[in-house]
Each structure stands twice: as structure tokens, then as C-alpha cells.
Amino acid sequence: MIWSRYALKRVTLLVPMLFGVSLLLFTVMNLLPGGPEALYAGENLDPATISYVRRNLGLDEPVPIRYIRWVAAAVHGDFGRSFRDGQPVLDHITSRVPATLQLTVSALTLALVIAIHAGVVGATQPHSWLDHILTPVTFLGLSFPSFWLGIMLILLFSGALGWLPGSGLATYGREQDLLSRLRHALLPTVTLAAIQVAAFMRYTRAAMLEVLTEDYIRTARAKGLAPGSVMLKHALRNALIPVVTLVGLSLPALVGGSVIVETVFAWPGLGRLAVDSVFKRDYPVIIGIQMIIAAVIVLANLVTDLLYSVLDPRVTYE
């Protein structure tokens, strides 16, 4: 009951947060020089053309009135229409969400699998040759910019070796082929995961080193429990709490990294849609994407908080 009240309270706080984000975005978009009319009316901007374009785009009314109308429509799931093609913004977003989810979830899963395994090995065998190898290797991924790493992977595995495709979601004509989609997803997933592996590994290693010195770990070993049981059920479960916190905090960086990675690999997700919309000055689409991302990040942080009680029953929400 307490758990549900806490979740309801956090979800309720989502409303004013999204209102603040929308107000900030709407204000910034209208303060930018050279609005959408500059793109659609061309370089020779005579007053009559500007007035005509702004009227057609619905920009001829005062900003507060347009914002109030936008909020009233957004409450009912209507984020307006794209300046480019007149299609509903929500249609543009929902068509790109599956590709972005596939990339970000795969990258996060891969990063956690590698980082947790490497962190446990580093904690159980500190200062060993394996620990000395894993630490610098994982930090290489953090040191390289994602766009540079993505380009290098394309040049090596797609250009030089020809093993993997370097762009797109799937081979043309084979969009439903699972193997084709997996081959196209491998390089962008590795690129996006490399950003997170080092941080996850260091937190896992540090938390495991601390947990392994606790009295209950020594007690479990003294009782004759199998080493694997001690590691998984007692040590790792408690060591994952700071890692779960880091995962929640890393979501904005993961989303930001997906924008770059999707652009490098021509991945048809929300990130690439956002970049294209910025260049086209398609403000309704940009605002819609940012609102969706803000809501997802807040909800993901809520899930992260609720996972604490699953990992450690001592954590309560009273």
C-alpha cells in the first residue's frame, strides 16, 4: 500500500515537471532567430511572404495564446502537426519509437552484462592480471567520443572487412528478416554501450569490494554456503543498489548518445528525427520529442527508485 502511494505521488509530480519543460521549450523555440518562415519562404523575405507563411504555419498569433492552445491539445494527446508535411507530430514520434527502444535497450543491456561481469571479476580478483586488463579496456570506451568510435567501427567492420552493414535498420527488401536487423543493430549497439560500460564497471567493482568485507558475507561463508551462492544471493544483490542508481542517472546521457549514434549510423529513430527536425526548424516535432523523452526519463527514475526495495527489503517508502 505504501509502495503504491509513493508511486502515485511520484507520478503526480510528473505533471508540473512536464508543464515546466513544455513552457521552457516553447519559450526557447520562439526566441530563436530566423524562425520556420525563413526556411519555407526562402532567402528573399519580403513582409508579405513572411506574413503569409506565418499565417499558414499558425505562427501569426501571440506566443502565450499559442502555448495555451498547445497545452490544451497536448493534454488530449495532440502535439500539433509537423511544419514539413502537415502530419500529426505523434504519428512521426510513434513511427520512430520502436527503433530507438531497440537501440537503447540493447545497448543498456549489453553495457550492464559486460560491466557487471567485469566488476565482479575485478572485485573477487583485485589487482590480478585480469583486473589490470579489464580496467583500461573498459575505460577506452569512455575515452572515445561516440561519433568517432562509430565511424571507426564502420570503417573497420563495414568498409575494410565487409562483415557488417554500416547504416540503416535492415537491408532493403529484408525489413522483416530478424538476422538482417540484428546485423544492422550490432555496430550502433556496441557504440552506444561503450559509453556506459566503464562507469557501470567501476561502480560494480567498488560496491562489490565494500560488500565483500561485510560481516554477513563472512557469516555466509562460515556456514559453508557455496561461493557462487554467496556471490549472487548475498554480495551482488546488495552491490547492485548503487549500480541501479547510476543506471537511472545515466538515462539522459544514453538518450543524448543515441542522437549522435543514430545520426552516424543512419538509424531511423527518435534521435535522427530530432536532428532532422532541428535542421528543418520543425518546432512542433522537436517539442513533442523532448516532451516524450522527459516523461520517459522521469518514469524510468521512478522504476529505479522502486527497484531499491526489491534488491534490499530494508528499503521502505514510509
Distance from C-alpha of 147 to C-alpha of 269, rounded to nearest angstrom:
16
With a CB cutoff of 8 Å and minimum separation 6, the contacts of 138 are 114, 115, 118, 197, 198, 201, 202
Domains of the chain from N-terminus onward = 89-311 (1.10.3720.10)
Residue 78, pLDDT > 70, answer yes
With a CB cutoff of 8 Å and minimum separation 6, the contacts of 152 are 144
Say which residue, 317 or 205, is predicted with more confidence. Answer: 205
pLDDT for res 313: 61
Q: pLDDT tens digits, residue range 16-43?
A: 888 888 888 888 877 776 667 666 655 5
pLDDT for res 318: 58
DSSP 46: -
Q: pLDDT tens digits, residue range 92-134?
A: 888 888 888 888 889 989 988 988 888 888 777 777 777 777 7
Residue 286, pLDDT > 60, answer yes
Q: pLDDT tens digits, residue range 157-210?
A: 888 888 888 888 777 777 677 788 888 888 999 988 888 887 788 888 888 888
Distance from C-alpha of 19 to C-alpha of 291, rounded to nearest angstrom:
9
What percentage of residues in the chain have a pLDDT greater than 90? Answer: 1
SS3 316: coil
